[in-house]
Structure 1
Amino acid sequence: MLAAAVTAGLLSAAPTLAAHAEVEPDPAPASTDLLPTGPIDPGPHLVEFALPNPHGAPNDVVAGPDGSVWVSVFNDKQILRVSHDGAVLATAQLTGGPTSLTTDDAGGVWATEYASNAIAHVDASAAVTEHSIPTPNSFPANIDVFKGYVYFTESNTQKLGRYNPANGALDEYPILGSVTPWDVRGDQNTGSLYITDTGSGTVWKRYLNGEDQGTFAPAAGTDLFGDLTDFEDTVSTGYTSHEISTVNATDAFAKVLEVNRREITGVTEIRTRSFQLWFADAGDNVFGTRIDGSQLEFAMPTANVGLSGIAATGDRYLWSAEKVTGKLARLDVAATIPPDRLSGTDRYATAAAIAKGAYPAGASIAFVTSGETFADALSAGPIAAHNEAPVLLSTKGVLSSAARAELLRLNPGRVVLIGGPAALSDGVLASIQEALPRAAVQRIGGSDRFAVSRALLNSDLAPRGSEKVFISTGRDFPDALSAAPVAAHAGSVVLLVDGKSTALSGDEMRAIATQLSPMYGVPQIVGGPNAVSTAIENQLRSTYKLTYRYNGSDRFEVSSALNKGWVSGQPAYVASGISFPDALAGGAVAGAQHRPIYLSQKSCIPAAAVDAFVINRAPSVTVLGGLVALSAEVERLTSCR
């Protein structure tokens, strides 16, 4: 879009005068503790792609097919189609410099040639057709496709142009009283056209044939109308260099959404992160938005790039042309998700930090498991979550100082040691009794990790009635770690088995039966056949009518499969899929808080997990563990793409 160099204002879809305007007060944010102030370095979420000519002066961008974008390059008289990854897929050569773009709903694009008195069409194959405007020196400013026609403003001759692709007719309609008709947008709800006039400060409403339907004037407190946007097919928002506003003419009330900007050059929306209005500000050299009433700005890595226009693809990525540098910028809205980290000096301190963060006022029950092996903590996770109990870690022979200090702070009335004396010695139990003489201290143990897991399912602490049991291998940790919060959310448990065996034992089948009925129970197998054998799956299917398997080519895909369908709007946790210690206590906390855990590589997060954060509108993501387990790049939500 060719942006108007005027001072702000907006449009409603009804042709009545808004009586007054007020600046909309910011609503109280749900939580702004993690939201930064001032321009943010978007880090890996902002990518700049060099276009063929660094001096081409690209000036507008619109969404194309398959996640690509169309970019107008004024000096080169070209329109480029650029892939999501910055590759130039097609080049359309024009005879004049393009200035404003709009999509044609068939994968192509229309453009104005402001200085060449023409409009141009580029189809999906990049074939070009240009149409001269009959009136000389009309300076076509902006363009829109609406109801099968192509409309454009003639800013120097006070006309509305209309091209009919069906028969090739190009008509011009005078706008009596107009000074500088600038932007044009069609409103699907009213079937009308809205045309801003930066010279007269009004908005003209027109039928499809150009006939007059009335005008708008700017509401009190707003300045001249400039450019328009149409969200969900309704023209209700507009902007100029310094202000973004809406006008609800029915209620005679105007809301100013954004003020005191330096040079807004484009406005769009993203809906996967709830509704977010985004803008490009060339003066401040930022992409900007508001979340929960708080403004976020994402700074360009290079000063004064000349951001021009803005487009959204996939309800995820924002694009803007860099007029000065000749580049194309792409911002991932994952940048809006504030990161956090829970960690300590070691695994024991990390578990204590997780417990303190989740239970600041203490807890009535606490679990203590070995921090030297993973199995007992993973079995305990969903059951601890069910009882709103943290999981603390200790060494085998001596109660860890971090666990002791946190137990004193939590002051639970009941402490449960998970694992036999080979995992946690009787000395650890005695130390807990000494530290908390009024607490009931018990042990749930067994001859091995599988026996401990069964004992937990059979205990009074386990939930009942969910008709689900999550069955995971006890040979490795990732699948059970991912399953823990999912099981807790379902009011269920995780049973660890030897996934390589050809059959479950009678004790294991009886433990499963404590949770499932043959008619309605659904065993949930976690991981592929290499994790839990097909023979075990067949055994379960012979007893239960339905059996479900969460599959994937690796632990990260299994993690994503488990977390599909998680409740939107929940914060998420990220834990190492490579190293277990820092994440051991996370399953219980995530389950109690009804939050998912996603597994990560050391230096990047699987793309499917980052996708889920955006799609599920995670308001925040917390990394579990220190930098040795998960790097700073993980904390910045760097995707492994």
Structure 2
Amino acid sequence: MRKIFNITVILIITLLLGTPFEVAAGEDESTKKANIDGIDLNTLTEDELIYIPEAQREGKEVDEGYLHSNLDAADIPVLYNTYPNVNKYIKDKGFQAASVEYNHLDRLKKFPYRDGYGEVEGVVAHETANPNSTIDGEIAWMKRNHKNAFVHAFVDHERIIETHPLDLGAWGAGFYANQRFVHVELVRVHSFDEFARSINNYAEYIAGILFDYNLGVTSAETTGEGSLWSHKAVSKFLGGTNHVDPHGYFGIYGYKWDDFVKLVKEKHNNQVKLERIAGNDRYQTAVEVSKEGWNKSDVVVLARGDEYADALAGVPLAKKHDAPVLLTRSNILTRLTKEEIARLKTNKVFILGSKKAIGKNVEKDILSMGIEVERIEGADRTETAANIARNLLSNSTNKKVVLVNGYDFPDALSVASYAGKAGMPILLAKVNKLPDATKKVLDDLNPKKTTIIGGKKAINNKLESSLPNVNRIAGNDRFDTAVEVARHFEKDVKNDYYVTTGRSFPDAITGAALAAKEATGILLVHDQVPKTLASFIENENTNKIKIIGGTQVVTNDVERKLIYYLSQ
């Protein structure tokens, strides 16, 4: 980034990653292009060249705006007694770290670490050395100059913004560091309080990375070995760069590298993990959910994994038969799913949906295993749900039903586990009318109580008023509705909950079957923990949370926030 800093002396400014070379007498242009920071590009393989920024490989000069200061702690007057102790100040003030904002930039080059995708070896702590910029300004500059250099994240006193997936490398600190480390920039601020807040965010974010990648916290500052590196340590021990940040900036506020390492260790030690049930994709996650809840199951409910229509009403059926919900592709029985059906020693599979939804090939594959198949289907999703309701309530005295908008999935996800536990079928409506199949089954069942899930945009007042013995549970959005549903049913369930994404349906559908079995519910998140959910966790005596889904759908940052709210 642009880095010019003046403190009693005029600083020597150097370029980050690829300072333009002075061509010695007699040195031709090809030789100039072949040597970057002492590295002969002619000796590198194609796989290794990716760790050299594109602009440098093309022999272009780095944009003069992209500067790093060589300001070291030794250049700073002794200020250690001028300011309060930063770590103590953070603790005394009780600062909470900012939530991570995910703003991954598509334009940034995608390449793996030297040992492969996600094989992070440590974190390099940088600072931007530009006292006149902001976090947004630094990101805007990086967007314009990303062929010269880019990093994974920026941190200031108010925000943590991740700009590049941590599982991929970045051009942050020269050839050797680029292939190994996550790179995080600390943005300069303008007061001691802001500095302390920024250090708190910086340490929290870096500690989380080291924890998530199981790297521990060991400083590389004196030995060149460890998981936490300054840019100075990279220059000293690895090479490919000559910058020495963040020591000089730290020194302005009387802060030392060892103090920072201590703070990162403290925050790392406070990191805990929630139990997470996850696979590499939705099909494997469904299998992992099944393994969590069932050693054996006579029945399996099978739904299509890429379309929610027929799956919405399936959880109460699964609960009736104490069965997991597994997922399949439309025309091929997914290998992992087939293996799980075999592990469960299943005798019968309910297929949800028509042959257009789940094809004959899937059915034949199951039959070839010597397993009975019963298909519950209809002309459309509403009729499939109606037929599931008839199956569910055969020989039942239950007279309660749930009604949701059948053309979006979140409200059904919120109520599925509770409906399953109570033996209530989930029927599907449109915003302003009952489909014929739903109307007919309601007439046939003549329920004593109909519970609408979702607000007026999901099912409007006119339709509500046409139903007998109706009540509505709703919030301002899908996430609030999930909390209101949990509040409504919490007296009937344990205060342990599953949390999954409300942005897609598969993990919540399969997880709801497990939640129903365990007499608990599903709560929904997005890329943050919704405020209403945070309040619910803090105030409703929530004992335990398990996450369903991988870190792509429920991020590590969301997990950290859930842990924080549980601890309050």
TM normalised by structure 1 equals 0.45
Q: Which residue of 1 aligns with 2:535?
A: 611
Q: Which residue of 2 aligns with 1:390?
A: 324
Give SS of 2:439's match: helix
Q: Which residue of 1 aligns with 2:46?
A: none
| Among candidates 464, 481, 485, match of residue 537 of structure 1 | 464
| Among candidates 428, 431, 439, match of residue 496 of structure 1 | 428
Q: Which residue of 1 aligns with 2:84?
A: 54
Cα deviation per residue 1:418-464 (whole Å; 9 max; x = unaligned)?
000111001111100112x1x32110011111111111011156684
Instruction: Report deviation, 1:57.
Output: 12
Say yes or no: does 1:547 pair with 2:479.
Answer: no
- In structure 1, how many angstroms separate the alpha carbons of the residues matched to 2:513 and 2:562? 26
Give SS of 2:520's match: coil
- In structure 2, how many angstroms separate the alpha carbons of the residues matched to 1:336 and 1:83? 17
Q: Which residue of 2 aligns with 1:472?
A: 404
| Among candidates 440, 443, 446, match of residue 510 of structure 1 | 440
Please list every run of 5 or more consecutive structure 2 residues that lacks an aligned counterpart in the other structure.
Answer: 1-82, 98-258, 260-265
Say yes or no: does 1:426 pair with 2:345.
Answer: no
Q: Which residue of 1 aligns with 2:138?
A: none
Once structures 1 and 2 are overlaid, which stretch shifts more, 390-399 or 611-620?
Answer: 611-620
Say yes or no: does 1:573 pair with 2:498.
Answer: yes
Say yes or no: does 1:560 pair with 2:483.
Answer: yes
Cα deviation per residue 1:240-286 (whole Å; 9 max; x = unaligned)?
xxxxxxxxxxxxxxxxxxxxxxxxxxxxxxxxxxxxxxxxxxxxxxx
- In structure 1, how many angstroms separate the alpha carbons of the residues matched to 2:87 and 2:280? 51
Give SS of 2:403's match: strand
Structure having the larger proportion of residues in helix? 2
- In structure 1, how many angstroms separate the alpha carbons of the residues matched to 2:85 and 2:554? 41
CA contact (8 A) 1:484 1:493 kept: no
Q: Which residue of 2 aligns with 1:240?
A: none
- In structure 2, how many angstroms separate the alpha carbons of the residues matched to 1:610 and 1:362? 36
Partner amino acid, structure 2, of 1:434: S
Partner amino acid, structure 2, of 1:348: Y
TM-aligned CA distance change 1:409 to 1:56, over 3 Å:
closer
TM-aligned CA distance change 1:84 to 1:507, over 3 Å:
same
CA contact (8 A) 1:463 1:491 kept: no
- In structure 2, how many angstroms separate the alpha carbons of the residues matched to 1:616 and 1:379? 28
Give SS of 2:301's match: strand
Instruction: Report deviation, 1:85.
Output: 8.0
Instruction: Report deviation, 1:380.
Output: 0.2
| Among candidates 342, 363, 382, match of residue 277 of structure 2 | 342
Partner amino acid, structure 2, of 1:417: I
Structure having the larger proportion of residues in strand? 1
CA contact (8 A) 1:605 1:639 kept: no
| Among candidates 267, 285, 293, match of residue 358 of structure 1 | 293
- In structure 2, how many angstroms separate the alpha carbons of the residues matched to 1:573 and 1:623? 6
Instruction: Report deviation, 1:357.
Output: 0.8
Give SS of 2:368's match: helix
| Among candidates 536, 560, 564, match of residue 636 of structure 1 | 560
CA contact (8 A) 2:499 2:546 kept: yes
Superposition pairs of residues 282-301 of structure 1, within 5 angstroms = none
CA contact (8 A) 1:337 1:620 kept: no
TM normalised by structure 2 equals 0.51
| Among candidates 491, 511, 526, match of residue 453 of structure 2 | 526
- In structure 2, how many angstroms separate the alpha carbons of the residues matched to 1:57 and 1:373? 51
CA contact (8 A) 2:392 2:425 kept: no
TM-aligned CA distance change 1:510 to 1:336, over 3 Å:
farther
Give SS of 1:560's match: helix
Query: Rg bigger for which structure?
Result: 1
TM-aligned CA distance change 1:638 to 1:54, over 3 Å:
farther
Say yes or no: does 1:624 pair with 2:548.
Answer: yes
Cα deviation per residue 1:604-637 (whole Å; 9 max; x = unaligned)?
2223223333444333211111122111122334
Give SS of 2:374's match: strand
Partner amino acid, structure 2, of 1:636: R
TM-aligned CA distance change 1:487 to 1:462, over 3 Å:
farther
TM-aligned CA distance change 1:396 to 1:358, over 3 Å:
same
Please list every run of 5 or more consecutive structure 1 residues that lacks an aligned counterpart in the other structure.
Answer: 1-52, 62-70, 72-81, 87-324, 326-330
CA contact (8 A) 2:328 2:334 kept: yes
Partner amino acid, structure 1, of 2:334: S
- In structure 1, how many angstroms separate the alpha carbons of the residues matched to 2:327 and 2:394? 20
Cα deviation per residue 1:60-104 (whole Å; 9 max; x = unaligned)?
x9xxxxxxxxx9xxxxxxxxxx89989xxxxxxxxxxxxxxxxxx
CA contact (8 A) 1:610 1:639 kept: no
Q: Which residue of 1 aligns with 2:415?
A: 483
State the percentage of identical aligned residues. Answer: 27
- In structure 1, how many angstroms separate the alpha carbons of the residues matched to 2:476 and 2:87? 45
CA contact (8 A) 1:343 1:624 kept: yes
CA contact (8 A) 1:340 1:620 kept: no
Superposition pairs of residues 109-508 of structure 1, within 5 angstroms = 339-359=274-294, 361-435=295-369, 437=370, 439-460=371-392, 464-498=396-430, 500=431, 502-508=432-438
Aligned residues: 323
Instruction: Report deviation, 1:478.
Output: 0.9
- In structure 1, how many angstroms separate the alpha carbons of the residues matched to 2:539 and 2:339? 39
Instruction: Report deviation, 1:526.
Output: 0.8
Cα deviation per residue 1:323-382 (whole Å; 9 max; x = unaligned)?
xx9xxxxx9xxx9996111111111111111111110x2111111110010122221012
CA contact (8 A) 1:503 1:539 kept: no
- In structure 2, how many angstroms separate the alpha carbons of the residues matched to 1:422 and 1:405? 24
